[in-house]
């Protein structure tokens, strides 16, 4: 990452001009990165236990050595293909990370029989990453059971081919340890699933597949330095104002992957925005399109 930029027009620009100075005066950015739960007055109780993402790039550093060692161990056994069984926040970030890096990761986020059969190919060189924050996702556990049965039928030691990522103390955490699975990674429970890209949920499958996860954390720490600044040029404040500060609220946003190198980011952002803001009868409806339309009064961001 070398730069971040944002340009806005129309209602989005007006929102930035009217809202950002107040956010700077309130020291919103620095308080947020200091995990001050009072910055989100409508959700203070939830914020008390969900702001761990602000330091995820630093907290996750010890995972790197563990992930790379496990990848090397698998490689020495001829295991070079990885399947990720996960839904939503457990699968979207690793999919974007690996596609952007150009490394192979089979993401099994469906119970469609044809997709499951494709995932079950090449078992002799395949390991499964089972990823569920709650540890009780039915679709994910169905995939796990399908792989266990397939591994056993092929004469492969199933527990040695399965890696689990889940919150500590979840049902999956307990059952995976009882089953003797190859490795169980506990993610930070103070990070919500949609914010978990830089935790074990994003790093384990991406790192095993061959993505440069150490460089990813380096870039994230660099970005955090200026996203935490109480400054009117802070792109995070400006984008937030454009998304939520228009009056009347422009409740739709068009997302365009206009030459950005982050493959699949638009689809990921669509899910994140829709799920995060669609609460209590309000929210912003994101729409991904293939080409920019000049008449749309939206903010545009780029990252390189």
pLDDT tens per residue, range 16-37: 999 999 999 999 999 999 999 8
d(C-alpha 204, C-alpha 163), whole Å: 9
Residue 204 near residue 185, CB atoms below 8 Å: yes
Residue 49 near residue 167, CB atoms below 8 Å: no
Q: What is the predicted pLDDT for the residue at 299?
A: 43
Mean of pLDDT values over 50-73:
94
Q: What is the predicted pLDDT for the residue at 2?
A: 52
Q: What is the predicted pLDDT for the residue at 178?
A: 96
Residue 198 near residue 144, CB atoms below 8 Å: no
Residue 303 reports pLDDT greater than 60: no
Residue 43 near residue 270, CB atoms below 8 Å: no
* Alpha helical stretches, state H, the chain: 10-25, 28-33, 44-47, 56-59, 61-76, 92-101, 113-119, 138-153, 171-179, 200-209, 213-227, 235-244, 265-277
Rounded-to-10 torsion of CA 153, 156, 159, 163: -110
Residue 204 near residue 128, CB atoms below 8 Å: no
Domain locations in the chain?
Answer: 4-27+232-303, 55-217
CA-based nearest residue to 109, from 95, 98, 96, 127:
95
Residue 131 near residue 166, CB atoms below 8 Å: yes
Residue 90 reports pLDDT greater than 90: no
Residue 12 near residue 249, CB atoms below 8 Å: no
Q: Which residues contact 239 (CB under 8 A, 6 or more apart)?
A: 6, 299, 301
Which range in 55-59, 146-150, 237-241 is most confidently predicted, on average pLDDT?
A: 146-150
Predicted TM-score of the model (pTM): 0.89
Average pLDDT, the chain: 89
CATH node for 55-217? 3.40.50.10490
Residue 114 reports pLDDT greater than 50: yes
Q: What is the predicted pLDDT for the residue at 3?
A: 66
Q: What is the predicted pLDDT for the residue at 301?
A: 43
| Helix and strand numbers, DSSP H then E, in the chain | 13, 9
Distance of CA 160 to CAs 90, 152, 172, 181, 268, Å? 22, 11, 16, 6, 31
Residue 41 reports pLDDT greater than 70: no
pLDDT tens per residue, range 184-213: 999 888 888 888 899 999 999 999 999 999
Mean of pLDDT values over 149-154:
98
pLDDT tens per residue, range 272-297: 888 877 777 778 888 998 754 444 44
d(C-alpha 217, C-alpha 165), whole Å: 19
Q: What is the predicted pLDDT for the residue at 254?
A: 87
């Amino acid at each position: 990452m070398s730069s971040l930029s944002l340009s806005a027009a129309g209602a989005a620009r007006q929102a930035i001009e009217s809202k950002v100075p107040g956010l700077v005066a309130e020291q919103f950015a620095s308080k947020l990165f200091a995990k001050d739960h009072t910055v989100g007055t409508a959700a203070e109780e939830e914020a008390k236990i969900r702001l761990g993402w602000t330091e995820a790039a630093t907290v996750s550093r010890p995972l790197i050595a563990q992930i790379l060692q496990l990848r090397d161990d698998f490689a020495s056994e001829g295991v070079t293909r990885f399947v990720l069984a996960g839904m939503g926040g457990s699968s979207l970030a690793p999919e974007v990370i690996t596609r952007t890096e150009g490394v192979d990761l089979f993401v099994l986020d469906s119970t469609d029989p044809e997709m499951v059969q494709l995932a079950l190919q090449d078992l002799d060189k395949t390991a499964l990453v089972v990823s569920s924050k709650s540890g009780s996702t039915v679709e994910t556990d169905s995939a796990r059971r399908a792989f266990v049965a397939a591994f056993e039928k092929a004469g492969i030691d199933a527990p040695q081919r399965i890696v689990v990522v889940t919150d500590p103390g979840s049902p999956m955490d307990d059952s995976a340890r009882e089953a003797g699975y190859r490795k169980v990674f506990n993610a930070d429970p103070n990070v919500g699933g949609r914010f978990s890209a830089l935790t074990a949920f994003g790093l384990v499958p991406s790192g095993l597949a061959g993505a440069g996860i150490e460089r990813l954390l380096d870039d994230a720490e660099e970005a955090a330095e200026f996203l935490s600044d109480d400054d009117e040029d802070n792109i995070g404040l400006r984008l937030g104002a454009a998304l939520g500060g228009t009056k009347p609220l422009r409740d739709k946003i068009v997302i365009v992957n206009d030459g950005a190198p982050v493959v699949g980011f638009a689809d990921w952002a669509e899910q994140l925005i829709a799920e995060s803001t669609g609460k209590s009868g309000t929210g912003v409806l994101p729409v991904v399109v293939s080409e920019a339309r000049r008449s749309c009064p939206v903010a545009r961001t780029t990252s390189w």
